Chain A
Amino acid sequence: MLGLNSKDATLFFIVILMTMLAPFLLNPFPAESAMAQFNAGYPDLMQRFVIYGIFAIGFNILFGLTGYLSFGHAAFLGVGSYAAVWMYKLLNFNVIYALPVAVIVAGLFSVVIGYVSLRRSGIYFSILTLAFAQMSYNLAYSVLTPITNGETGLQVYNNDPQMFLGDGPRNPHFFGLEMRTNAQLDLGAWTFNFPLGYYFAAILMLASFYLAIRIFRSPMGMMLRAIKSNQTRMSYTGLNTRPYMLAAFVISGMYAGLAGGLLAAMDPLTGAERMQWTASGEVVLMTILGGVGTLLGPILGAGFIKYCEKIFSKINENVLHRWFEALPDWIENPLVWLFARFVGEGWHLTLGLLFMLVVIFLPGGLVQGGQKIGAMFRRRNKNAGGAEARAAQQNPPAE
């Protein structure tokens, strides 16, 4: 179906279902309960899940298939954001202008950076991309202030041209559908959010995901995996690895541009920090944590990191004291002190630990973890249904 084999189609439908039902799935706890702070079903976070999902899906096309590790992809994300905000400033707030332009500008930018960086492979390639991204960051921060508005960050002002604005919405919208629109549904003790911006970004993520599956299963996907496996054999088989690599690089750059554009669609401003090397490192972590080279991995990794970032950084000492208040003070205080190191500002420490655990025990990432659990259940089912299975083997059903 849809040009996917049955396994990929199943995966795709599961992802569709999960993204569409996310407002429910991510809000399992009643709004007033103590656990409510672990809910993730509010607009800002849900939008981040899918937008960074797009970023990581694209990154995985480069890193997962070809093994080339770029440390500069945040530059394309940042360029996408700047391009989108400029469209708001010049034309109007309709994302129908902002998003395609974000993708195209990021694409052009990645042609240039890719063309130069891909002259080297391995660690040198990584360093080149890192250098380019840091250069872009510094340019955006200082020299290019007329374009990027430097430290302050780029935003829309009342005296901007906005040629097509008319009396249209003064916030990012899609033909009048404002991204920040949110519908709330109260069901008993639960409150569910249905942000328009989330659904808009989610549909684009699904389209990006679909395209990624098609690329993985295409002859070009096979060529990219072959490049990862043995470049020598590629050239002696008459294949020019350069254009293949550049294509993968630019495609992943355009995904990043789309993600950057969408960030600016949710909130119409941007700054240089989006291009910083930490942001480039984050997408690497997402991809590895989820499972490099797998279809689902990047989405899981992006969700996992964005969830930890939001939830763990929100917890502070007050919250911890409430958790442990039942304990005697001489236990409570040290415990709170200990946990406080890993939450709030210290959430990076938690992320670091989780990352190490995953890389050591699950080199295939969260996807591998899922597969292991799946295999465990299957084995148990087999033991339970062993007698049946044996009977079935003896009497194979007629075709």
Chain B
Amino acid sequence: MGILEVKGVNKRFGGLQALGDVNLSVAENTVHAIIGPNGAGKSTLLNVLVGKLIPDSGSVMFDGQSVLGRKPHEINQMGISRVFQTPEIFADLTVMENVMIPCFARRDGAFRMHAIERVSNEKGIREEAEAILEDVAMLDKRDMTASSMSRGDKRRLEMAMCLVQEPRLLLLDEPTAGMARADTNNTIALLKEIKQKRDITMCIIEHDMHVVFSLAERITVLAQGTPLVEETPENIKGHPKVREAYLGEAQV
């Protein structure tokens, strides 16, 4: 039994079968990559996992509990965090505030009426936030407004915001897209380090095969909304079905 069990999930958008009978099992404390050509349904699958979309049929179990029908914030409080394909950060807030908010969410839950307490007095939260900024090498940018940062920095900030919550399952949607090589390598190193430090399961969508093969222990290939194969990285490289899926895209 994996920590995440997806069974028979279907999702249609009008005439388009975005997800067709998706089965996926992600084992605890592993890195599981999902690859596939553009439009294969990878982001749609993540949307189902975090409660942004409700599938037409099928079941999604996280740690033995169904996530379907729960609100996004409830699913997050169960221990699932997500990095988006286009970074979702608090653009008008400072970098420091951006990472403090998930710290509050983890400590105080989905809502707490803390209208009189002072942010400047929250020593524990500040330390936690500073520690994660140190980890992603952004401590020097703590007082910058998030919107004024480069795209690469925004991605790293979003990752820091997810990591500081210490989720049990981290979903990453193309975390290195648009990053320079050096930044990509830093991200790989960061994720490896996090993985070593503590128990975490990661599910990563990626186009960059270098990232996939550096991190993943299992790989699922998705094409036209349906998983084609699930294999170890060694076995996937020359797999005929994988070639077919990607060549199919090249021909279009």
Contacts and interface: CB of A to CB of B under 8 A. Distances in A.
A233 B110 contact: no
A255 B110 CA distance: 26
A230 B91 contact: yes
Given A214-B116, A251-B115, A229 B76 contact: no
Interface residues of B, number: 38
A44 to B, nearest CB: 33
B118 A218 contact: yes
Contact of A5 (B73, B105, B120): B120
A226 interface: yes
A221 B88 CA distance: 20
A3 interface: yes
B119 A233 contact: no
Interface string A126-156: 0000000000000000000000000000000
A239 interface: yes
A45 interface: no
B203 interface: no
B113 A226 contact: no
A222 B76 contact: no
Interface string B145-173: 00000000000000001000100000000
Contacts of A241: 73
Contacts, number: 106
Contacts of B50: 236
A220 B92 CA distance: 16
Contacts of A221: 115, 119
Contacts of A222: 93, 97, 100-101, 104, 119
Nearest to A224: B115
Interface in A233-269: 233-241, 243-244, 247, 251
A292 to B, nearest CB: 13
Contacts of A219: 104, 108, 112, 114, 117, 119, 122
B26 interface: no
Interface in A204-218: 214-215, 217-218
A33 interface: no
Contacts of A26: none
Contact of B115 (A214, A225, A236, A240): A214
B161 A247 contact: no
A237 B101 contact: yes
Contact of A218 (B89, B105, B116): B116
B110 A218 contact: no
